[in-house]
Structure 1
């Protein structure tokens, strides 16, 4: 049995990808900071798909997280040929109104953890005749997003890093892909502290995590460079190349700017999905 390691696997897109891969009878190593939801997700998969599921409760924002995961999964390294770097989160508010430590924590999870896991596990992936690394970005990578600035910037990094890494590994067995989802019906928007008008806008374009996961897994095994689920997200990725940046920033600001009349509560604890 081959195994897949997925971060941020307790819910949302990460959990949906886990289910999609369980349908292929692959063993799973699921990682998340939320122990209760992680254990529930693992049990659901065991009961319904009859595959081996290993759980690791881990805060990915810590510098030692990747090494801890590497050490705890050593027994599986001869079978582990897929890595999914899904964990990430954002905060929706003016930059200056958020605590700097909370914003640095976004970088720790969205960028540093992804780099550390890739660096640790690429030598493992190289052992196979064919293996796969999927980094999860966001359509926010295509433009600056006022009031979601650090998150969008982190996802721009993810896409750039993934494309470079893919080129470096093109003559190896490791296929590197980037999933670039848009609005998805997950708890991300709530955890980010988004206000009602932002949620209403997102609802118009939401995809289900299951739909995103099906497209992601199909694209991954087809060895695609960038996997953009949904027609509206593909259009967004295309038109941002030609529309003046200031116009796009104004539209984004209108969507994400908190309204004083709405009680938007900003999350102050790192939550990984």
Structure 2
């Protein structure tokens, strides 16, 4: 059986990936900070699907966290066939007024950990001439978003980085996909400290399961990018092609201001 490593696996989209892949008889390595949630999920999936599930409790914003994760898989003799870089978070508000340490941690998790983990596992996939990497971005990647400035910028990095890797690695038989979901039923809005007034402002909310299904189908097709969510989400990803950037950012500033 193949093995998938999923970061941010304790809830939301990461948990949905774990459940879907377990149902496909894929062994799992689950990575997140919450030991209790990971162990509970691991036990459920092992009992239901009779697969192997390893748990790595790790805060990926820590120095050398990716090295530590890679070393565990190596010591356990695990071959990672699918890497899913899903861990990430956002932070809502005026950048100058938000906690500076939290902004840095966002960059460390959304960008640095993703790049580091990708570089740990990609060379081995190229040597085997097989393997897949899914990097989870967002529709926020397609334009600057005032009051989500660092989050949107970090996801833009993930989009550009992943599409470049898709082109670089096709000749090696390694598939790279960047997933860009729209609003999804997760704890994102709560964790990002969105005000309650935004509850009704988002477009159609997707379930994590819908995002995962769209993503895995796109991976099988060999796509470089998948946008999941409502038709409005797909329109949003193309607005910057038709609207002057200053105009677009000015509109978004009004829309996202509390």
Task: Please tell me the TM-score bracket, short chain as reference.
Answer: over 0.9
Provide the rounded CA distance (Å) in 2 between the counterparts of 1:240 and 1:126: 35
TM-score (norm 2): 0.94
2:215 is matched with 216
The residue that corresponds to 2:234 in the other structure is 234
Q: Following superposition, which runs of at least 4 residues in structure 1 exceed 4 angstroms of deviation? A: 75-78
1:19 & 1:244 partners in 2: Cα distance? 42
Deviating more after overlay: 43-52 vs 204-213: 43-52
Partner of 2:173: 173
1:251: how far off?
Answer: 3.5
Quote the residue 2:124 is aligned against.
124
CA RMSD of aligned residues (A): 1.5
The equivalent of 1:11 in structure 2 is: 11
The residue number in structure 2 matching 1:62 is 62
Partner of 1:254: 254
Using the alignment, how far apart are the partners of 2:207 and 2:254 within structure 1? 24
Map Cα deviations across residues 195-230 of structure 1 (whole Å, 9 max, x no partner): 11222212x421000110111111112221001113
The residue number in structure 1 matching 2:101 is: 101
Q: Using the alignment, how far apart are the partners of 2:251 and 2:136 within structure 1? A: 24
Bigger shift: residues 27-36 or 126-135? 126-135
User: Secondary structure, in 3 states, of the residue corresponding to 2:199?
Assistant: helix
Residue number in structure 1 paired with 2:205: 206
State the distance in 1 between where 2:256 and 2:132 align: 34
The reply on whether 1:46 has 2:58 as its aligned counterpart is no
Structure 1 residue runs without a partner (length 5+): 259-273
For residue 54 of structure 2, give the secondary structure of its aligned residue in structure 1: strand
- Number of equivalences: 257
Higher relative contact order (CA 8 A, sep 6+): 1
- Determine the structure 1 residue equivalent to 2:135: 135
TM-score by length of structure 1 reads: 0.89
Q: Which runs of 5+ in 2 are unaligned?
A: none
Name whichever of 230-239 and 158-167 sits farther off. Answer: 230-239
Worse overlay, 98-107 or 151-160: 98-107
